[in-house]
Amino acid sequence: MKRRNFFKTAALGGGTLAFAPLSSCVQSTTKKEPSINYADFELNELTIVQLQEKMSSGALTSAEITQKYLDRIELINKSGPELRAVIEVNPEALAIAKQLDAERKSGNIRGSLHGIPVLIKDNIDTGDRMQTTAGSLAMVGSPAPDDAVIIRKLREAGAVLLGKTNLSEWANFRSTKSSSGWSGRGGQVRNPFSLDRSPCGSSSGTGAAVSANLCAIGIGTETDGSIVCPSGINGIVGIKPTLGLWNGDGIIPISHSQDTAGPMARTVADAAAMLGLLAEKNQDYSQFLDAGGLKNARIGIASDFFGFNAEVEKLMAAAIQKMKDSGAIIIDNLKFETIEEWYKMERKVLYSEFKADLNAYLKTRSGLKVKSLTDLIEFNKQNADTELKWFGQEIFEEAEQTKGLDDPEYIQALARAKELSQKGIENLMDQHQLDALIAPTNGPTWTIDWVNGDHFGGGSSEPAAISGYPSITVPAGYIAGLPVGISFFGRAWSEPTLIKLAYAFEQATKHRKAPGFLSSIVV
C-alpha cells in the first residue's frame, strides 16, 4: 500500500509533499537514451486476444510465447535495465505451457486465458516450488502449502504462472520512510520509463513488469493505493475490485477489511477479462467494453484530490474535455466533508488488523523462520544489515502494541471508517445522480531515494480503499515522459459501469505507450 494515504503531512488538495524537484523537470529535460532498444520485442504490447490469435493460427504455441517472456525477463530484469520487477521465475512454467498446448491440440480450450503467461505478486500463495515471501528474507524457506483461491482459479482458467513479482516489502507496511519497490529479498524495482525513478507500490514489480512487457498480464494487491498507484505511475490499467469480488484467502495480509487482489494490464479489455475469470462468481465483463460508454454518463470531479501539481491539472483538464467531447456530463467541485476523519480511523484499523491477520496467516505456513509479528520484528533486528539497511520497522512495532480485534477502539474505528467513507461516496452519487467519480491517480513519479524514502505527490486511492468500493485507473498522459493515470471510482459492485467508462476513455485517448527504459530524466 502507499503509506502516504494515512501518514499525511500536508493538507488535501494543495500538499507541499509533491514535486519541488519535479516542477523544474517539467520545464526542460534531457533524456539519456539506452544503448539498446529494449522496446524491440516480438510480443511488445500484444493483448490477450492477439496472443490467442497467434496460438489459434499456429503462429506461436503457448510454450514459445512463454519462452519469449522468460528470455525477456532474463534480458531486462537482472541485466540491461536491471528492472528487478520479477523476484522469481516459475521453474514449471514451460511444462505448464506445453500441457496447455497439448490440451489446445486436442480441442480443449479453457477460455480467454488459456496458455497466457501471467506474473503474480510475491505475497500471493502458490502451492508449488516458488516461494511466497512478501519480499522478506524472514519468509524464505518453505513454499506455501496450497494455492491461494485466486491462483487455483487462475490455473483452472488455463493461465501459465510465469513467476512472482517483486514488491515493496510487506506491501509497504513496515516503515513510514521506505522506498516503494524495495525488498530485502528482491532489491529495488525500477520504473521502466525512467530507471532512476520509483515504480510506486506496493505492487511495484507487477506494475513495472506489465508495462515493460515481461508478461501478458499481472496480478497485484491493494490495501490503499497498491494497485492503482503502480498502475498509474507505470502507465498501465489497474482495477481495485469491490472488496469480496475476488477471494482473499491465501494472500499475506495487512487488513481483512481493505485488502484485495486485482488485475494489472496494458488495456482495459485485458484487465476486465481477468477480473471476471477470477471473480468468486465468474462474470463476463467484456460485454461492458463500450467505446461509446461516455455518452450521457454523469461524472463527478472529486476535487479533494486535485490541486497538487500544475502539470497534472493540465492533463486532467484535457481528460475532462475529452469526456465532454464524448458526451459525458461533468459535475465539478465535489468534496467529501469528513475525509480527514477517514484517515484517522483507517490508521487504527490497519494497525490492529495487521497484527491479528498476519499472526493468523503465519499459522498456515510451516518451515519458516518466523511464526508471529513478534518473531518478525526480532528477525529484522538480528538481520539489520540486510533487512533494516535503508529504513526501519516502526509500523511493525506500533502494530505489535495493538490490543486485538476485540479492542473497543478498533471496533469503533472500523465501523466509523466504513460508515463515513461509504456514505461519503454514496451521498455524492445520489445527490448528483452520478455514474462515477474521477480524480488523478498519481502525479509524475519521483526519484528513488533509499536514504529519505518516498516523496509522494498526489493521489486518490483513499475513498475506494477505505470504503471497499471499486476503482479503475487508466493512462491519462505524460509529464516529462512520465505517466499519469486517471481513476474512475464509485459504488460497491459498480465494476460494469466503471469498466464501460474507463474503456470509452481509453479508446478515445489511447495514451498508453511502451516505456523507453531511459536511464534518467535530467534538468
In 3D space, the residue among 167, 263, 305, 257 whose CA is nearest the CA of residue 472 turns out to be 263
Q: Please state, in angstroms and rounded to a whole number, the distance separating the CA atoms of residues 218 and 264.
A: 5
CA angle (168 as vertex; 167, 172 as ends), nearest 5: 140
Beta strands per DSSP E along 271-347: 298-302, 329-334
Q: The C-alpha cell of 290 is what?
A: 463500450
Per DSSP, the three-state class of 260 is strand
* 121 flagged as catalytic: yes
In 3D space, the residue among 457, 467, 478 whose CA is nearest the CA of residue 437 turns out to be 467
Q: The C-alpha cell of 347 is what?
A: 490508521
Q: Please state, in angstroms and rounded to a whole number, the distance separating the CA atoms of residues 173 and 358.
A: 12
CA atoms within 13 Å, Cβ hemisphere of 127: 13
Per DSSP, the three-state class of 246 is coil
Identity at 178, one-letter amino acid code:
S
Q: Please state, in angstroms and rounded to a whole number, the distance separating the CA atoms of residues 423 and 429.
A: 10
Contact between 308 and 443 under an 8 Å Cβ cutoff? The reply is yes
* 202 flagged as catalytic: yes
Q: The C-alpha cell of 327 is what?
A: 458526451
Contact between 303 and 505 under an 8 Å Cβ cutoff? The reply is no
Q: Please state, in angstroms and rounded to a whole number, the distance separating the CA atoms of residues 257 and 349.
A: 8
Selected catalytic residue, list 2, 54, 121, 153 = 121
Q: The C-alpha cell of 424 is what?
A: 461519503
Cα dihedral sign, 441-447-448-450: negative
Identity at 443, one-letter amino acid code:
G
DSSP 251: B
Q: Please state, in angstroms and rounded to a whole number, the distance separating the CA atoms of residues 320 and 191.
A: 27
Selected catalytic residue, list 202, 211, 231, 352 = 202
Q: Please state, in angstroms and rounded to a whole number, the distance separating the CA atoms of residues 201 and 168.
A: 6
CA angle (508 as vertex; 220, 41 as ends), nearest 5: 55
* 226 flagged as catalytic: yes
Q: Please state, in angstroms and rounded to a whole number, the distance separating the CA atoms of residues 244 and 358.
A: 19
In 3D space, the residue among 470, 466, 472 whose CA is nearest the CA of residue 487 turns out to be 472
Q: Which residues pair with 396 in a beta bridge?
A: none
Selected catalytic residue, list 226, 352, 471, 487 = 226
Contact between 472 and 459 under an 8 Å Cβ cutoff? The reply is no
Q: The C-alpha cell of 139 is what?
A: 519468509
Q: The C-alpha cell of 116 is what?
A: 497466457
Q: Please state, in angstroms and rounded to a whole number, the distance separating the CA atoms of residues 512 and 234.
A: 10
Catalytic (active-site) positions: 121, 202, 226
